Amino acid sequence: MHRRSLLKGTFSGAMLAAVPLSALLPASASAATTRVTSLSDLQTEINRAAPGDRIVLANGTYTVPSGGAINVSGKHGTSGAPITIVAESRGGAVLNGERSFVFSNSSDIAVSGFALRQSTTLEIPANSPRIRLTRNDFRFADISGLDWVVVRGDDAKIDRNYFHDKSTEGIFVVLDGPGSTALAQRLHLFRNHFANHSFAGANGGEPIRLGVSGRALSSAHAVVEYNLFENCDGDPETISVKSSDNTIRYNTIRDSLGGIVLRHGNKTTVESNYLIGGTDGVRVYGNDHLIVNNYLSGLSGRALVIGSGTTRDHHSGETTEQRRGNDACDRAVIAHNTLVNNARTLSGESRAHEPRDVVIADNLLVGSVGSLVEMGATTGFSWQSNILWGAASNGNIPAGSHTRVDPLLQQGADGVFRLSAGSPAIGAATLASPAVADDIDGHARGAARDIGADEYTTAAPVRRPLTTTDVGPNAS
């Protein structure tokens, strides 16, 4: 059974709260909220849904029949009035079975609040742009090789979801695309919680993979921000980037094997991320990346790696095997990062093609073991205004590129080491370009910038390492 009622002026829930209906719909359209209590009625309401309609599935446990699906086919909301399919309460409607929602030739659809327990991939296909998955709980069947969500449609949003508990090979979220080289455009992944991936293999258990080797030279323009990763041990790459022109910012990776790895592709920004207490930090391959304002602390592996390559630059016409190789890091800018108490701080590699023309400026490197800098062969590097400190030796950082001085770090209640009053890092940054407008905490840097990820101030941070209250289905 179902109940249908006219909305009287606003959308409720996570989507477009408090926006007047008149601002969302054409004058001739009407929008309705419908409550249903069975999958058959849910399908009926989806089939007749119009822009702005909101379909609510009552709480309960539902099993999609074998071979069946909840089909969203040929349905189109609008950017201001999406069709919303929502659970009565967050996590209250549990969907079991091989499949849940299957999209085809649809747009401006939002799916919210479900506990999804299926045993096959949930795909956003190339013919379905502007699909949003929000406030859902993802725990698919623990099947080896099963990727949970694969995005091929443009302008998808995946936000405030909980992806958790996988012990086999497979990826939580994959960005892919149509054809053999294209990528879905402008994926926005934000405020999600990724946790407890315990696959013990060497590859194939990433929480997020943006692209794949064969598509790496294509631009995706994806934004991955404000996500929390905890105990993500399924792969050495927590955020694996195999595409170009992406932004990875404001994320927290805690107690995880993997780090942020620009494995293939060019021109990606990695900005203001916290990587704390895990194994690996940031590894950089490819050209023209910006690595700025990141905080890497307590990592037992390599904190920051400027990668060498099996090739100088990837290019069209490569074989599949050649494309899988590493592309040497060229022309990256690595600035205003703070690396504290890691097993290995800043290091290189020894493949045939050395990294070239990389700028390493205004970074703060503090450690108690080994060497702070362990670079392999390099060409044309520019080093300036870095501060080194601690019992660890300087390593092979060039003379004149750094100062060895106590930066007077002070650990805050959130565990982060920041500058204290009187630090020699204050106002000592010298890199003129590119401009770095704020710091990892969200404070403006001003004209006289400080060395490291933190700009000294007595004001409370605008951004801190994320906690579970900041992400997932109940996040604001």
Decide which of 50 and 314 is more confident.
50
- CA-CA distance, 12 to 89, in Å (whole number)? 12
- Please give the average per-residue pLDDT across 43-47, as a whole number: 98
- The structure tokens listed for 95 are 């969907």
pLDDT at 176 over 60: yes
For position 140, what pLDDT does the model report?
Answer: 98
pLDDT in tens, 245-301: 999 999 999 999 999 999 999 999 999 999 999 999 999 999 999 999 999 999 999
Task: Report DSSP state, residue 472.
Answer: S
pLDDT at 22 over 50: no
Q: Answer yes or no: CATH 1.10.1200.10 is held by domain 160-400+464-476.
A: no
Pairing of strands 274-276, 252-254: parallel
Say what percent of the chain tops pLDDT 90.
89
- Please give the average per-residue pLDDT across 417-446, as a whole number: 96
Residue with tokens 């054409």: 26
pLDDT at 9 over 90: no
Q: Which neighbouring-strand residues pair with 338?
A: 295, 364
- CA-CA distance, 306 to 232, in Å (whole number)? 23
List, in order, residues 6 or more apart from 19 with CB less than 8 Å away.
10, 11, 80
List, in order, residues 6 or more apart from 292 with CB less than 8 Å away.
269, 270, 271, 272, 333, 334, 335, 336, 337, 436
Band of pLDDT at residue 6, cut at 50, 70 and 90: very low
Residue with tokens 């002070």: 410
pLDDT at 20 over 70: no
pLDDT in tens, 125-165: 999 999 999 999 999 999 999 999 999 999 999 999 999 99
Band of pLDDT at residue 21, cut at 50, 70 and 90: very low
pLDDT in tens, 184-227: 999 999 999 999 999 998 899 999 999 998 898 899 999 999 99
Q: Where are the domains of the chain?
A: 1-116, 160-400+464-476
List, in order, residues 6 or more apart from 132 with CB less than 8 Å away.
15, 82, 109, 110, 111, 112, 156, 157, 158, 159
For position 76, what pLDDT does the model report?
Answer: 98
pLDDT in tens, 73-98: 999 999 999 999 999 999 999 999 99
pLDDT in tens, 323-355: 888 999 999 999 999 999 999 999 999 999 999
Q: Return mean pLDDT, the chain.
A: 93
- The kind and range of the H/E element at 41 are helix 39-47
pLDDT in tens, 93-130: 999 999 999 999 999 999 999 999 999 999 999 999 99
- CA-CA distance, 73 to 134, in Å (whole number)? 19
CB 56 within 8 A of CB 93: no
For position 30, what pLDDT does the model report?
Answer: 61
pLDDT in tens, 379-391: 999 999 999 999 9
For position 23, what pLDDT does the model report?
Answer: 38
Query: 3-class DSSP state for residue 380?
Result: coil
